[in-house]
Amino acid sequence: MAAHVPGVLGAFLHVDAACDAIRELKASGHADLTVYTAAPNHEIEEAIGDPISPLRWFTLLGGLLGCASGFGLTIWMSRDWPLLVGGKPIAAIPPYVVIGFELTILFGSLASVAAIFILSARKSLKGRPYAPRFSDDQIGIFVPCGPDRADQVQAMLEKHGPVEVTRDA
């Protein structure tokens, strides 16, 4: 466990309440929130207001790379060992489309999955508190802050009727 991050953790049952809390925190300059939900939720996404994930570029590049290597592989290998079969050209494009296509899909998919890890890792969650109920039915909002602002944050959360607010400084 890495360095413990001090802050206030609020657990909400009601989505609208959680959203209000998030907006208020953001407005008061708490940019670095961590919101735990059991399932993706659009209201919360809007409340947090992060820009759309750049993951699509990974997918695109993976796909293009796959397509290129598909055709490259087949054409190069046929020319490297040129054998005549059935009176067909040594490097026949139509049959190679299949390989090109399959590799496009393969590389694209693997790139997307890899991207999840890469991109998520950019924001470390190490040392931030987490509670099992967040994977069940509650929304967790963790606000990293020093003891000096903790009271203010706690008040801000409690105003919106959380199930519970814990300070852990």
Helix/strand/coil for 139: strand
The residue range among 2-10, 23-31, 35-43, 149-157 that interacts with another protein, by the rule CB under 8 A, is 35-43
**Residue of the chain from 1, 2, 3, 123 that contacts another protein (CB under 8 A):** 123
Q: Binding another protein by CB under 8 A: which of 2, 3, 40, 146?
A: 40
**Near another protein in 3-32, by CB under 8 A:** 13-17
Number of residues that bind another protein (CB under 8 A): 71
Q: How many other C-beta atoms can be found within 10 angstroms of the C-beta atom of residue 13?
A: 14
Identify which of residues 86 and 146 has a Cβ nearer to another protein in the complex.
86
Q: How far is the CB of 90 from another protein (least distance, A)?
A: 5
Question: Binders of another protein among 57-86, rule CB under 8 A?
Answer: 59, 63, 73-74, 77-78, 80-86
96 touches 71 (CB < 8 A): yes
Contact indicator for 11, 164 with CB cutoff of 8 Å: yes
Q: Which of 130, 155, 159, 169 binds another protein (CB under 8 A)?
A: 130
CA 98 → CA 19, 53, 57, 81, 82, distances in Å? 48, 31, 24, 20, 20
Distance (Å, whole) CA 160 – CA 165: 11
Is there binding between residue 45 and another protein (CB under 8 A)?
yes
Quick one: which of 2, 25, 7 has its CA closest to 146?
7
* The only residue of 46, 92, 151, 168 in contact with another protein, by rule CB under 8 A: 92
Determine the Cα–Cα distance for residues 24 and 15; give it in Å rounded to an integer. 14
Residue closer to another protein, measured from CB, 151 or 159: 159
Of the candidates 8, 67, 134, 157, which one interacts with another protein according to CB under 8 A?
A: 134
48 binds another protein (CB under 8 A): yes
Distance between CA atoms of residues 96 and 99, nearest Å: 5
Q: In this structure, are residues 15 and 39 in contact, taking their beta carbons and an 8 Å threshold?
A: no
Compute the least distance from the CB of residue 151 to another protein, in Å: 24
